[in-house]
């Protein structure tokens, strides 16, 4: 009897181990589409989270409002003094915009890489497993979200859409980026052409993004801004990514690697915008995967 149960136990452990390995093997590759049961579960959990989120958001909003009211007087003084400056800047901005549009229409360039339609979304949950930097937002396929789109806050880029369900989607944060999630980026300089590089991964020890493949002789200084270039095929150009904090030569001495401090706070996120660029998108990563298959 006891040997029978022991055998049964052994078989159970082996079968579950095989199941584990095959499930992990199935899901470890970068998937841009989820299976139907997964989508269903995501949406169900998402709805329940939305229901419970509403009252919490309300309370949080009220507390924020009260704090805002306390500071209103001081803010008002500061803002008044700045208002006159803004007026002149606004006029200048308007003039430049008009001029730009005119020149564009002369050149028959209707859309630029910089144009995009933002889709507003609210963060309803984050991964409870800290080793996965991802969060769930309340906009999905039906609202026009597609996997691969950039996700930004007012401060800068926070990540990209990893997978979509019908009404929710999962966002991979910058802190979870690896070799497979690249962003084509520019180091912005006041004068001269921007320097091209690729954001390839995140350094967990220093909490900085790694900007690689920078030409050996490019001159980069700390404090320069890094923005998306729009050449990767999905993101629009001009999204703020961060600021350079350190530059070093890579291990083979052929290119430079820069450490980039993300502009947005990756931990305190409530509302985000999903960026749908106006130019046709071209997902190179998917293309490459298809070719491989």
Partner 1 sequence: MIQRFYLPLISFLLLVFQGMAMSLLPSSLVYSELLITPHWVLIILMLMAVFFDTDDTYYSILYAVIFGLLIDMVYTSMLGVYMFTYGIVIYIVHGFKKMLHGNFLVAMLLSIMGLCITEVFLYTIYFFSKVTQMPWESFLLDRLIPTVIANLLFFFLVYPLLKSRMEKWSETIQRN
**In sequence order, which ranges of the chain are alpha helices (DSSP H)?**
2-28, 36-107, 284-292
Stretch that binds partner 1, among 111-119, 152-160, 240-248, 265-273 (CB under 8 A): 265-273
Q: Which of 7, 8, 10, 16 binds partner 1 (CB under 8 A)?
A: 16
Binding mask 226-255 for partner 1 (x = CB under 8 A): ------------------------------
**How many residues sit close enough to partner 1 to count as binding (CB under 8 A)?**
44
Distance of CA 84 to the CA centre of its chain: 35
Pick between residue 49 and residue 283 the one whose CB is nearest to partner 1: 49
Closest CA to 288 of 19, 1, 29: 29
Residues recorded for the chain: 293
How many helices (H) does the chain have, and how many strands (E)?
3, 12
Cα–Cα dist 270/171, whole Å: 13
Binding mask 68-107 for partner 1 (x = CB under 8 A): ----------------------------------------
Q: Which of 53, 112, 245, 281 binds partner 1 (CB under 8 A)?
A: 53
Residue 177 CB, nearest approach to partner 1 (Å): 13
Instruction: Kindly report the backbone phi and psi dihedral angles of residue 69, in degrees, each rounded to the nearest multiple of 5, phi listed first.
Output: -60, -40
**126 near partner 1, judged by CB under 8 A:** yes
Cα–Cα dist 248/196, whole Å: 16
Instruction: Kindly report the backbone phi and psi dihedral angles of residue 205, in degrees, each rounded to the nearest multiple of 5, phi listed first.
Output: -70, -40
Residue 103 CB, nearest approach to partner 1 (Å): 44
Beta-carbon neighbour count of residue 151 at 10 Å? Answer: 28
Pick between residue 132 and residue 216 the one whose CB is nearest to partner 1: 132
**150 near partner 1, judged by CB under 8 A:** no
> How do 157-164 and 150-152 pair as beta strands?
antiparallel
Pick between residue 212 and residue 277 the one whose CB is nearest to partner 1: 212
**36 near partner 1, judged by CB under 8 A:** no
Cα–Cα dist 76/99, whole Å: 34
**166 near partner 1, judged by CB under 8 A:** no
Pick between residue 170 and residue 200 the one whose CB is nearest to partner 1: 170
**123 near partner 1, judged by CB under 8 A:** yes
Cα–Cα dist 169/283, whole Å: 18
DSSP state of 232: T
List the structure tokens of 81.
Answer: 């003094």
Binding mask 273-292 for partner 1 (x = CB under 8 A): --------------------
135, 208, 269 from 266: Cα distances, Å:
11, 11, 7
Q: Cβ distance 257 to 215 under 8 Å?
A: no
**267 near partner 1, judged by CB under 8 A:** yes
Q: Which of 8, 101, 102, 132 binds partner 1 (CB under 8 A)?
A: 132
Q: Which of 11, 48, 79, 103 binds partner 1 (CB under 8 A)?
A: 48
| Binding residues for partner 1 (CB under 8 A) | 16-17, 19-20, 22-24, 26-28, 31, 37-38, 41-42, 45, 48-49, 52-53, 56, 60, 123-132, 134-136, 162-163, 170, 204, 265, 267-270
């Amino acid at each position: 009897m006891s040997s029978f149960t022991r055998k049964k136990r052994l078989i159970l452990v082996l079968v579950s181990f095989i199941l584990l390995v095959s499930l992990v093997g199935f899901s470890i590759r970068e998937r841009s589409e989820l299976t139907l049961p997964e989508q269903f579960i995501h949406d169900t959990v998402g709805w329940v989270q939305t229901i419970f989120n509403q009252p919490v958001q309300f309370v949080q909003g009220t507390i924020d409002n009260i704090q805002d009211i306390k500071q209103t007087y001081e803010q008002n003084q500061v803002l008044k003094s700045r208002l006159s400056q803004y007026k002149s800047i606004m006029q200048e901005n308007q003039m430049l915009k008009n001029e730009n549009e005119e020149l564009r229409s002369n050149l028959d360039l209707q859309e630029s890489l910089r144009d995009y339609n933002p889709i507003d979304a609210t963060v309803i949950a984050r991964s409870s497993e800290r080793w996965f930097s991802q969060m769930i937002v309340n906009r999905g396929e039906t609202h026009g979200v597609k996997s691969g789109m950039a996700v930004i806050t007012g401060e800068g880029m926070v990540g990209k859409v990893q997978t979509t369900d019908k009404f929710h989607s999962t966002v991979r944060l910058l802190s979870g980026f690896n070799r497979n999630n690249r962003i084509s980026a520019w180091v912005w300089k006041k004068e001269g052409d921007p320097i091209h590089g690729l954001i390839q991964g995140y350094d967990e020890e220093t909490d900085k993004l790694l900007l690689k493949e920078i030409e050996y002789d490019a001159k980069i200084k700390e404090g320069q801004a890094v923005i998306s270039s729009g050449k990767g095929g999905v993101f629009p150009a001009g999204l703020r990514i961060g600021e350079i904090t350190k530059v070093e030569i890579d291990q083979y001495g052929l290119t430079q690697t820069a450490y980039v401090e993300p502009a947005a706070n990756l931990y305190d996120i409530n509302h985000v915008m999903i960026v749908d660029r106006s130019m046709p998108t071209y997902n190179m990563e998917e293309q490459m995967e298809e070719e491989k298959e």
